[in-house]
A and B are shown apart, each in its own frame.
Chain A
């Protein structure tokens, strides 16, 4: 799994690529929690994530709780079809903000 990071105005954008599963979620969690601690506006570009398991979603949940505790925002965007379906199955769409595209997300968070 590769996770790149860039700044889009006041938004910290993380772009993981690959599978977010039992093998990779620990690394993802460390990176995500660190970013949420450093920035109040965090956006995940999930266009390169082909699958996310409960372990990946747990990392997202921890980050979401941490972000909400400091009145920050955490959002995800550009979900691949399978990840979109997993968000629906897990009901995580009710937990974190989901945007169809990165453009919509950056407009909303910016």
Chain B
């Protein structure tokens, strides 16, 4: 999609439901574990330290998954930016745009909104480019009354700057689920998903590459077979970003009908649809970095169990992750 046959997907926010910033105790635990692992090692040079961090420490110690809520950027290579969702991750995205280009250069942003729940729009009041006249923000979605949700969250007494006083030109564009659109050279199709008040997944294609963004969807089926509509929607995607917030047990018991899926359902659907790369997304805020790392390892094991002969790449999204396909 970037014009050279590759597509870059940049994850700005990957957490579900509510931001989950890392606290003092978790940082201290990481430092302690790193220092324990460093005992007896020769780490005199900066290079050896960098190598130790990158190659010898687990990701949960060397880094972490982050705490921003849903926001993903698709780098298309064009002038116009493409985003999925406006969770708190969009704040850092906006800061990066401003740092890179300065406030004087105007941009167009095409945002595809999965739904209107708070964690998917709460970053918008802190999206710097929305304050700058000359910028154009087009918010595409399938929900009626999208604008109302933005006006409500950005009005007295919830926020000091009224939505209607923002400097940028902000347009809301309704999409019809199932219909195929061409938006700035990007082929886009949406699908209705099972979530309280509905959500919508998006399938993006350009230059022979396909990315599916499917968050906040509870997949409920008695038996999974090829007639399940999401199999076609996900079919042969190069990258599938999938809501895997819960364990299967939670999804089917105490959190049934809460509108989210699990890592096992993710793998089974990805295998049936012959997806190439599955990304676990919308992480449960209760899970710390060590648990998310464990879930990733288990998911990779399950991918092998479900289809030993087929290679399904599985990644767990984190704030700052970049994937090139």
Measured CB to CB, the nearest residue on chain A to B299 is A89
Which residues does chain A contribute within 8 Å of B249, judged by CB atoms? 57, 61, 90-92, 94-95
With A91-B249, A92-B249 known to touch, is A55 a contact of B222 (CB < 8 Å)? yes
Interface size class of B (residues with CB under 8 A): 20 to 34
* Of A29, A57, A86, most B-chain CB atoms within 10 Å: A86
Do B223 and A22 touch across chains, with their CB atoms under 8 A apart?
Answer: yes
A46 CA to B249 CA, complexed, in Å: 18
Do B247 and A91 touch across chains, with their CB atoms under 8 A apart?
Answer: yes
Determine if B148 is an interface residue (Cβ-Cβ < 8 Å).
Answer: no
Secondary structure at the A interface, as helix, strand, loop or mixed, is helix
With A53-B268, A54-B268 known to touch, is A89 a contact of B298 (CB < 8 Å)? yes
Secondary structure at the B interface, as helix, strand, loop or mixed, is helix
Do B222 and A89 touch across chains, with their CB atoms under 8 A apart?
Answer: no
Determine if A82 is an interface residue (Cβ-Cβ < 8 Å).
Answer: yes
* Of A54, A58, A65, most B-chain CB atoms within 10 Å: A54
Measured CB to CB, the nearest residue on chain B to A54 is B264
Do B222 and A85 touch across chains, with their CB atoms under 8 A apart?
Answer: no
With A53-B306, A89-B298 known to touch, is A61 a contact of B264 (CB < 8 Å)? no
Determine if A25 is an interface residue (Cβ-Cβ < 8 Å).
Answer: yes
Which residues does chain B contribute within 8 Å of A22, judged by CB atoms? 223-225
Determine if B302 is an interface residue (Cβ-Cβ < 8 Å).
Answer: yes
Which residues does chain A contribute within 8 Å of B262, judged by CB atoms? 54, 90
A86-108 interface with B by 8 A CB criterion = 86, 88-92, 94-95
Determine if A26 is an interface residue (Cβ-Cβ < 8 Å).
Answer: yes
Determine if B197 is an interface residue (Cβ-Cβ < 8 Å).
Answer: no
Do A85 and B225 touch across chains, with their CB atoms under 8 A apart?
Answer: no
Determine if B265 is an interface residue (Cβ-Cβ < 8 Å).
Answer: yes
Which residues does chain A contribute within 8 Å of B225, judged by CB atoms? 22
Which residues does chain A contribute within 8 Å of B8, judged by CB atoms? none
Which residues does chain B contribute within 8 Å of A26, judged by CB atoms? 222-223
Report which of B253, B265, B299, B301 forms a contact with A54, defined as CB distance below 8 A.
B265
Determine if B49 is an interface residue (Cβ-Cβ < 8 Å).
Answer: no
B228-266 interface with A by 8 A CB criterion = 247-250, 252-253, 262-265
Do B250 and A89 touch across chains, with their CB atoms under 8 A apart?
Answer: no
> Could you list 26 examples of A-B contacts with CB < 8 Å?
A22-B224, A22-B225, A25-B223, A26-B223, A29-B222, A51-B305, A53-B306, A54-B248, A54-B268, A55-B223, A55-B224, A57-B249, A57-B264, A58-B222, A61-B249, A88-B298, A89-B248, A89-B299, A89-B301, A90-B248, A90-B249, A91-B249, A91-B250, A92-B248, A92-B249, A94-B249
With A58-B252, A91-B248 already in contact, 7 other A-B pairs whose C-beta atoms are closer than 8 Å: A22-B225, A51-B305, A58-B222, A82-B305, A86-B305, A88-B298, A89-B298
